[in-house]
Amino acid sequence: MAYNFDPTVLREYDIRGIIGETLGPDDARAIARGFGTLLVRDLGETKKPKVAVGYDGRVSSPMLEHALIEGLTSSGCDVRRIGMGATPMLYYAEASSEEVDGGIQITGSHNPANYNGFKMVFRGRPFFGADIQLIGRMAAEGDWLDGSGTVESVDIIDAYIDRMLTALDGIDPAALSSLKVGWDAGNGAAGPALEKLAARLPGEHHLLFTEVDGNFPNHHPDPTVEANLADLRQLVAEKSCDFGIAFDGDGDRIGAIDGEGRVIWGDQLLMIYAEDLLAKLPNSTIIADVKASRALFDHVEKHGGQAIMWKTGHSLIKSKMKEVSSPLAGEMSGHVFFADTYYGFDDALYAGIRLLAASARLGKSVTQLRSDMPQMLNTPEMRFQVDESRKFAAIDEVKARLTGDDVPAGVEVNDTDGVRVNTPDGWWLLRASNTQDVLVARAESETEDGLARLMEQIDAQLELSGLERGKSVGH
């Protein structure tokens, strides 16, 4: 029987929609039928597929879980239910068990409360892009296998906490005993795991909003928006914490502030993690997305690593890590991936523990590590609306103009993902979002005048393509 999804639901990195408008139980069932069919065909006669299923704290998640399990079992897959938890706990359920062949997390991530969606892992690799489009074509053709499967419920949270705590192996607990850390779960799905984790960590830990509430009554769970860190900043100040850590709605993205309340952005966190990792794994390849500061790439090379600038998108970064055997990667958005002594997926709880560990091993407070960084001037990520039919074409036009014969001296263009332009003043970036009808811009310089000139270049290029920055829009 054929099924058609709303055209806005099948995204580049995940599947996402508005409950009751573009996403509901029938969509969950169809997604599961397609995913399950692909697994059965991929494994052939070797074994019956087993799929781990988890969900976040959104009000609609249990309803979608029921339909998803129905779709998986009716396609011939067995299901391992791990219940409500952070997305990385689902990734752990898939990565840590040889019995499990795939995983699906029901999550709306950091989107508004009326959104929900799915993140998927297929036999150890990210399931995205062409995979997601294939699910859509299979549904439209009714190309699904029929079968039957069993369902088991497994509580893995304690094993997950045990595994994360191995990040502190080899560190003298005395070096951590005087630490004071603030944590903000934002009423997201990481709350219960954070409570268990903090109870077992050395030092003093102060927790905010660990009660899971899909309506997010305190603040929106997106730690890349500075306004959402206000409660954490207040906690760090009141309790004289050494630093603070915040999570997004499904616990795969980290945000942080130091003891003085300064934000430590995604690329700055990666500088700390890279310095720590390169001390024990010299010459490692470390990946960051095109939005990251030049200071990060310089820092990696200064500490004996090889830096790769790559495309934005957690699935794209994870795939590149496997390709080049990178032990560490990260994005400005707060996705950080550790594959040195962990599984290579993005886990904000684990990233939080690694920040404690890095500070202890480097012998410096997080505040000192933040203070030691170059004081670059950069814009926040600017996102502005552009017609879907124009977004990629406009980037191609900019690229063509800047790689022609009359490019100014000292200008270099990196077209890994959009257009990142290096000039004597610093760099600026224009790229098309893969998930929205927006262009994304960012610029960085060492001086205010330099930053202003970079912004003028962005505006000039947009004008030549009949566009303007206009009012910035949200995620």
The answer on 203 and 127 residing in a single domain is: no
The answer on 348 and 236 residing in a single domain is: yes
Q: Report d(CA 140, CA 160) in Å as an integer.
A: 38
Q: Residue 412, Cα to own-chain centre: how many angstroms?
A: 29
Residue 211 to residues 128, 189, 235, 387, 460, Cα–Cα distance (Å): 31, 9, 17, 40, 48
In a domain, 1, yes or no: no
User: CB within 8 A of 406, min separation 6: which ones?
Assistant: none
Q: Please indicate whether residue 109 is annotated as part of the active site.
A: yes
Answer yes or no: are the C-beta atoms of 281 and 340 closer than 8 Å: yes
Strand extents, DSSP E, 377-437: 377-378, 382-385, 412-414, 419-423, 426-432
Token code pair at residue 459: 């505006």
Q: Report d(CA 416, CA 281) in Å as an integer.
A: 26
Reference 199, options 233, 161, 237, 171; nearest CA is 161
The answer on 403 and 254 residing in a single domain is: no
Token code pair at residue 39: 């697994």
The answer on 189 and 331 residing in a single domain is: yes
Ordered strands of the 254-258 beta sheet: 204-208, 180-184, 243-247, 254-258, 263-264
DSSP H/E element including 38: helix 25-43
Ordered strands of the 285-289 beta sheet: 306-310, 285-289, 328-330, 336-338
Give the helix ranges, DSSP H, for 222-265.
230-238
| 304 burial level (CB within 10 Å; 0-12, 13-18, 19+) | middle
Token code pair at residue 77: 């897959």
User: CB within 8 A of 294, min separation 6: which ones?
Assistant: 376, 426, 427, 444
Answer yes or no: are the C-beta atoms of 311 and 352 closer than 8 Å: no
Range of the domain at 127: 15-156
In a domain, 4, yes or no: no
Q: How many domains does the chain have?
A: 3
In a domain, 359, yes or no: yes
pLDDT at res. 475: 47
Q: Report d(CA 243, CA 262) in Å as an integer.
A: 9
User: CB within 8 A of 321, min separation 6: which ones?
Assistant: 287, 329, 337, 339, 344
Reference 71, options 15, 130, 11, 8; nearest CA is 15
| 157: DSSP letter | H
pLDDT at res. 410: 81
The answer on 246 and 202 residing in a single domain is: yes
- Assign 100 to helix, strand or coil: coil
Answer yes or no: are the C-beta atoms of 314 and 127 closer than 8 Å: no
CATH code for the domain in which residue 323 is found: 3.40.120.10
| Residue 438 φ then ψ, to 5° | -135, 155
Q: Report d(CA 49, CA 41) in Å as an integer.
A: 10
Answer yes or no: are the C-beta atoms of 103 and 53 closer than 8 Å: yes
In a domain, 337, yes or no: yes
Q: Report d(CA 403, CA 201) in Å as an integer.
A: 53
The answer on 362 and 386 residing in a single domain is: no
The answer on 107 and 19 residing in a single domain is: yes
The answer on 192 and 57 residing in a single domain is: no
The answer on 108 and 24 residing in a single domain is: yes
| 168: DSSP letter | G
Q: Residue 80, Cα to own-chain centre: how many angstroms?
A: 24
Q: Report d(CA 112, CA 444) in Å as an integer.
A: 30
Boundary (domain end) residue, out of 332, 351, 371: 371
Which stretches of the chain score pLDDT less than 70? 470-475
Rounded to 5 degrees, what angle do the CA atoms 273, 274, 279 make?
105
The answer on 358 and 282 residing in a single domain is: yes
Interval 407-445: pLDDT, tens: 777 889 999 999 999 999 999 999 998 877 899 999 999
Q: Report d(CA 319, CA 337) in Å as an integer.
A: 11
CATH code for the domain in which residue 386 is found: 3.30.310.50
Q: Which of these is catalytic: 75, 109, 293, 315?
A: 109
In a domain, 162, yes or no: no
pLDDT at res. 109: 86
Boundary (domain end) residue, out of 350, 371, 392: 371
The answer on 84 and 25 residing in a single domain is: yes
Rounded to 5 degrees, what angle do the CA atoms 268, 273, 276 make?
130
In a domain, 361, yes or no: yes
Q: Report d(CA 451, CA 424) in Å as an integer.
A: 11
| Beta-bridge mates of residue 104 | 53, 120
End-to-end Cα spacing for the chain = 35
| CB hemisphere CA count around 203 (13 angstroms) | 24
Q: Report d(CA 420, CA 437) in Å as an integer.
A: 19
In a domain, 139, yes or no: yes
Strand extents, DSSP E, 290-425: 306-310, 328-330, 336-338, 377-378, 382-385, 412-414, 419-423
In a domain, 90, yes or no: yes
- Assign 26 to helix, strand or coil: helix
pLDDT at res. 470: 65
The answer on 334 and 398 residing in a single domain is: no
